[in-house]
Amino acid sequence: MKMKKIDPETWHKFRRHCMAQQQLAPSTIEETIRKLRYLEKREIDLMNLNPEDVYEFLAEKMDEGAEATALNHYVKALNRWTKFMGWDIKFKQYREYEKPIKIPTIEEVKAMADVFNKRNKEHRLKKMIIVALVKTGMRNNELCNLKKKHIDWIRKQIIVFGKGGGMKKPRIIPLDDNFLYGKTYPSLSNYINHWRYTPKYPYQNFLFINKNGKNITDSYVRKVVKEAGKSIGLDWIHPHSLRHFYATNLLRNGVNIRIVQKILGHADIKTTVRYLHVIDNDLQIAIENFEDPFLKKGLQRSLKHLNTLCKTLSVKIYGPARI
C-alpha cells in the first residue's frame, strides 16, 4: 500500500491545533513540522503511524551517532502529531545528560565581531548581529523578530517577546549608552541611520533587515555566528554561546541570580543556576592564582625591625598640623 503524504490543508489544521490547543510558539510549530516532513521523507507513514517504524528510524539515527537531544526533537514532534490525530500513542523521551557549558572569552568575542570589518551593509549587519547577541543575551528567534518600536531610547531598554506557550512573554533588557548611541562603536543608532538595508513591505518595522529587504532568519543568524567562529578557530561556537557569555558576564559582575533569570527569560531558576558552576570555576582559578605572601622571598624582616610595623614618623615632617 502506497504511503499517503500529508496535504496542505491537514498541515494548516495541525498548525492551528498546535497554536490553540497545545499552545506552542510559532517557531516551535515550524520546527515540529520540519521534523515531521523529514520523517515523511524517511518513509514514516504519519497518516497510518506504526510505532515499530518509528523505533526503527530512531535506532538508525542512533547508529549514525545522534545524541538524546537530537532524538528527542523527533519524539516531541511525533507526540504533538499523535495528540493532534487523537491517537493513544505516546513515545517516551530519551534521557539527556547535561553537557558542560562552553563560553567564549572577551578576547574571542571581540575577535568574532572584528571578522566583519568591511564598510558595507552586509558586514555591518553581520557585526551588529554578533554585538546584539553579546549585549542583550537574546535568543535567535527573539533577535530575528525584534522591531524598532521595541527600543526605548529614553529609558535605555528594549522589550523582547520571548517563548512561552505560544503567548509571547515580554521582558525588559537594559542597554548601555555605547550600544544605543555610540558614534565610534557598533551601535544601534549607527546601524539604523547608516547601514540598515531598505526594508520591503511588510517588513519595515523589523530592526534587522537582510539584503532582500526582509527580516533576518534563525538560519542566517546561525550562519553568521558560525562564520565568525570558524574564522578565529572556534568551530564549536553557536548563537547560544553568546547568550551564555552574556549570562556569566552579569553574574561575574555581581548581578543577583533572580535578576539574571528575569533578563534572560528563564521560566525555571534551575536553568539560570547552571551558570553558577562557571562562576565556581572562576573562584577556583582565583584561589589557585592567589598571590601568597608566604611564598615570596625576601619578606623576612631583619631582627632589627622585627617588632616594627612601619618607619618612625618624623615629628618635623609629620607634626600635628600636617597629620
User: Which residues neighbour 209 within 8 Å (Cβ) at sequence distance 6 or greater?
Assistant: 125, 196, 197, 198, 199, 203, 215, 216
Whole-number pLDDT of residue 73: 96
Which among 197, 220, 246, 275 is annotated as catalytic?
A: 275
**Which residues are 162's β-sheet partners?**
169
Model confidence at 318, pLDDT cuts 50, 70, 90, reads: very low
Domain boundaries, the chain: 8-85, 106-284
**pLDDT value at 320 more than 50:** no
Which grid coordinates are listed for 309? 610595623
Higher pLDDT, 12 or 294: 12
Q: What is the mean predicted confidence (pLDDT) over 56-83? A: 95
CA atoms within 13 A on the CB side of 97: 2
Whole-number pLDDT of residue 239: 95
CA distance 118 to 114: 9
- Please state, rounded to an integer, the average pLDDT across all residues of the chain: 87
| 266 classed as catalytic | yes
| 214 classed as catalytic | no
Whole-number pLDDT of residue 78: 97
- Contact between 112 and 228 (Cβ < 8 Å): yes
Which among 126, 135, 196, 243 is annotated as catalytic?
A: 243
**Which residues are 161's β-sheet partners?**
170
* Matching CATH number, 8-85, of 1.10.150.130, 1.10.300.10, 3.90.550.10, 3.10.129.10: 1.10.150.130
Which among 139, 150, 196, 244 is annotated as catalytic?
A: 139
What one-letter code names the amino acid at 149? K
Domain 106-284, CATH 3.90.1150.10 — does that match?
no
Q: How many residues does the chain have?
A: 323
Model confidence at 323, pLDDT cuts 50, 70, 90, reads: very low
Which among 147, 240, 262, 274 is annotated as catalytic?
A: 240
Whole-number pLDDT of residue 162: 76
Which among 126, 163, 196, 244 is annotated as catalytic?
A: 163
Q: Please, what is the Cα angle at 209 between 148 and 11, to 5 degrees?
A: 100
**pLDDT value at 26 more than 90:** no
- Contact between 44 and 78 (Cβ < 8 Å): no
| 301 classed as catalytic | no
- Contact between 241 and 104 (Cβ < 8 Å): yes
Which among 156, 168, 266, 274 is annotated as catalytic?
A: 266
| 163 classed as catalytic | yes
| 16 classed as catalytic | no
| 139 classed as catalytic | yes
